[in-house]
A and B are shown apart, each in its own frame.
Chain A
Amino acid sequence: MPVAPCTNLLGIYMAVHAIPDVVNLTHVPVGCKPKIMNSMVAHNGFDKNFYRNRWTGMSEADIIGGEELRLEQFIQECYNRYQRPPLMVVTTNTVIELGVQDTAAVVRSAQDNVGAKLVHVKAEDFGGDLYAGYADVVRAVLTNLDWSAQAPEKGAVNIIGYVYDRIEPDHAANVAELERILTSLSLVANSVFLSNRPYEHLERAPRAAANIVLPHLHEKCMDLEAVSHRPSVLTTLPLGLAPTCRWMREVARVAGVDEEVVEEVTGAEMERIEPLLRYAREHLTWRDLAVFSDTITAAHLCILAMEVGMRPTVVGLLDRTLGGKARLTSILDSYGLSLPERTVIFEDPTVQELARFERAQGEFPPFDVIIRPTFEFFAGSPGVIETGFVSYHSHTLFPMPTLGFNGVLALCQRLLSASLQPRVERRRRPPHPEGHTGR
Chain B
Amino acid sequence: MGKSEPIVQQRTCSLFGVANYLCLMAGDFSVVVHSYLDCINTLSLNSFLVDGKALERFFCTRFTEMDVIDGTTSQCLSEALDAVIGERPDAPVFVLTSCVTEMIGDEAAAVVRELRERTGARITLMRTSGLGAFTLAGIVDLLATSLVDLAPRGMRKKKGAINLIGSPPLAEFVEVFDKLGIEINRCIHDGSSLSDWLALPSASLNVVFDRSLFAGFLDKMEAEFAIPTLEVPPPYGVQASAEFYRSVAGHLQVPSARLRVIDELAGPGAALLEEGRDLFRSRKVGYNICSSIDFTMATNIGMGLVDLAMFEELGCDIEFLYQGDSSEENLQRVRDVLRNRGIEHSVHGFEDTFLLRPLLEEGRFDLVYCPRFLMGQVLGTGAKFLKIHTLQPGLRSMEANLELLRSALEGKN
Chain A residues with a Cβ under 8 A of chain B: 1-10, 29-36, 38-39, 41-42, 48-51, 54, 56-60, 62-64, 67, 70-71, 74, 81, 93-95, 98, 123-128, 351-352, 355, 374-376, 390, 392
Alpha-carbon separation in the docked complex, A64 to B102 (Å): 12
Q: Which residues on the A side are within 8 Å of B64 (C-beta)?
A: 126-127
Q: By the criterion CB–CB under 8 Å, are B2 and A59 in contact? A: yes
- Given the known A-B contacts A48-B372, A51-B352, are A38 and B42 also in contact in the complex, defined by CB atoms under 8 Å? yes
11 A-B pairs (CB sep. < 8 Å)? A2-B37, A10-B38, A31-B130, A59-B131, A64-B103, A93-B38, A125-B38, A351-B58, A352-B59, A355-B53, A390-B44
What's the nearest-Cβ distance from chain A to residue B388, in Å?
Answer: 14
Is B298 among interface residues, defined by CB-CB distance under 8 A? Answer: no
Known: A57-B3, A392-B45. 20 other contacts (CB 8 A): A2-B62, A5-B40, A5-B44, A8-B38, A29-B130, A30-B2, A31-B39, A35-B39, A36-B41, A51-B353, A57-B11, A59-B132, A64-B103, A71-B1, A95-B103, A98-B100, A126-B65, A374-B45, A376-B48, A392-B48
Residue of B nearest to A377 (CB): B53
Q: By the criterion CB–CB under 8 Å, are A1 and B38 in contact? A: no
Partner of B36, one of A50, A125, A374, A390: A125
Q: By the criterion CB–CB under 8 Å, are A30 and B130 in contact? A: yes
Q: By the criterion CB–CB under 8 Å, are A7 and B38 in contact? A: yes
Q: By the criterion CB–CB under 8 Å, are B354 and A94 in contact? A: no
Partner of A54, one of B3, B38, B352: B352
Alpha-carbon separation in the docked complex, A74 to B39 (Å): 25
Alpha-carbon separation in the docked complex, A8 to B41 (Å): 10
Is B213 among interface residues, defined by CB-CB distance under 8 A? Answer: no
Q: Which residues on the A side are within 8 Å of B373 (C-beta)?
A: 41, 48, 50
Is B13 among interface residues, defined by CB-CB distance under 8 A? Answer: yes
Q: By the criterion CB–CB under 8 Å, are B103 and A30 in contact? A: no
Residue of B nearest to A50 (CB): B373
Q: By the criterion CB–CB under 8 Å, are A70 and B1 in contact? A: yes
What 0/1 pattern do residues 1 to 32 of B give for CB contact below 8 A with A? 11100000011111110000000000000000
Chain B residues with a Cβ under 8 A of chain A: 1-3, 10-16, 33, 36-45, 47-48, 53-56, 58-60, 62-65, 68, 99-100, 102-104, 129-133, 293, 351-354, 372-373, 375-376
Q: By the criterion CB–CB under 8 Å, are A49 and B37 in contact? A: no
Q: By the criterion CB–CB under 8 Å, are B37 and A31 in contact? A: no
What's the nearest-Cβ distance from chain B to residue A296, in Å?
Answer: 20
Q: By the criterion CB–CB under 8 Å, are B44 and A94 in contact? A: no
Q: Which residues on the A side are within 8 Å of B58 (C-beta)?
A: 1, 351
Q: Which residues on the B side are within 8 Å of A64 (C-beta)?
A: 103
Q: By the criterion CB–CB under 8 Å, are B13 and A34 in contact? A: yes
Alpha-carbon separation in the docked complex, A6 to B39 (Å): 9
Q: By the criterion CB–CB under 8 Å, are B1 and A74 in contact? A: yes
Alpha-carbon separation in the docked complex, A140 to B132 (Å): 30
Alpha-carbon separation in the docked complex, A217 to B55 (Å): 31
What's the nearest-Cβ distance from chain B to residue A162, in Å?
Answer: 23
- Given the known A-B contacts A50-B373, A351-B55, are A6 and B48 also in contact in the complex, defined by CB atoms under 8 Å? no
Q: Which residues on the A side are within 8 Å of B68 (C-beta)?
A: 98
What's the nearest-Cβ distance from chain A to residue B352, in Å?
Answer: 6
Partner of B352, one of A56, A62, A81, A128: A81
Residue of A nearest to B1 (CB): A56
What's the nearest-Cβ distance from chain A to residue B123, in Å?
Answer: 18
Alpha-carbon separation in the docked complex, A4 to B38 (Å): 10
Residue of B nearest to A62 (CB): B2
Q: By the criterion CB–CB under 8 Å, are B131 and A60 in contact? A: yes
Q: Which residues on the A side are within 8 Å of B129 (C-beta)?
A: 29, 31, 60
Partner of A34, one of B16, B53, B56, B104: B16
Alpha-carbon separation in the docked complex, A1 to B42 (Å): 12
Alpha-carbon separation in the docked complex, A94 to B39 (Å): 11
Q: Which residues on the A side are within 8 Å of B60 (C-beta)?
A: 1-2, 5
- Given the known A-B contacts A50-B353, A56-B1, are A34 and B47 also in contact in the complex, defined by CB atoms under 8 Å? no
What's the nearest-Cβ distance from chain B to residue A138, in Å?
Answer: 20
Residue of A nearest to B47 (CB): A376
- Given the known A-B contacts A1-B58, A39-B41, are A60 and B12 also in contact in the complex, defined by CB atoms under 8 Å? no
Q: Which residues on the B side are within 8 Å of A58 (C-beta)?
A: 1-2, 131-132
Residue of B nearest to A130 (CB): B41
Residue of B nearest to A95 (CB): B99
Q: Which residues on the A side are within 8 Å of B47 (C-beta)?
A: 376
Alpha-carbon separation in the docked complex, A54 to B10 (Å): 15
What's the nearest-Cβ distance from chain B to residue A329, in Å?
Answer: 25
Q: By the criterion CB–CB under 8 Å, are B48 and A374 in contact? A: yes
Residue of A nearest to B32 (CB): A1
Alpha-carbon separation in the docked complex, A70 to B43 (Å): 32
Residue of B nearest to A2 (CB): B37
Most buried by B among A34, A36, A54, A64: A34
What's the nearest-Cβ distance from chain A to residue B62, in Å?
Answer: 8
Alpha-carbon separation in the docked complex, A62 to B103 (Å): 12
Q: Which residues on the A side are within 8 Å of B14 (C-beta)?
A: 31
- Given the known A-B contacts A51-B354, A59-B133, are A6 and B41 also in contact in the complex, defined by CB atoms under 8 Å? yes
Q: Which residues on the A side are within 8 Å of B53 (C-beta)?
A: 351, 355, 376
- Given the known A-B contacts A29-B131, A63-B103, are A49 and B38 also in contact in the complex, defined by CB atoms under 8 Å? no
Q: Which residues on the A side are within 8 Å of B352 (C-beta)?
A: 51, 54, 81
Q: By the criterion CB–CB under 8 Å, are A5 and B2 in contact? A: no
Q: By the criterion CB–CB under 8 Å, are A60 and B133 in contact? A: yes
Alpha-carbon separation in the docked complex, A179 to B235 (Å): 58
Alpha-carbon separation in the docked complex, A93 to B99 (Å): 11
Q: Which residues on the B side are within 8 Å of A41 (C-beta)?
A: 373
What's the nearest-Cβ distance from chain B to residue A144, in Å?
Answer: 25
Q: Which residues on the A side are within 8 Å of B16 (C-beta)?
A: 31, 34-35
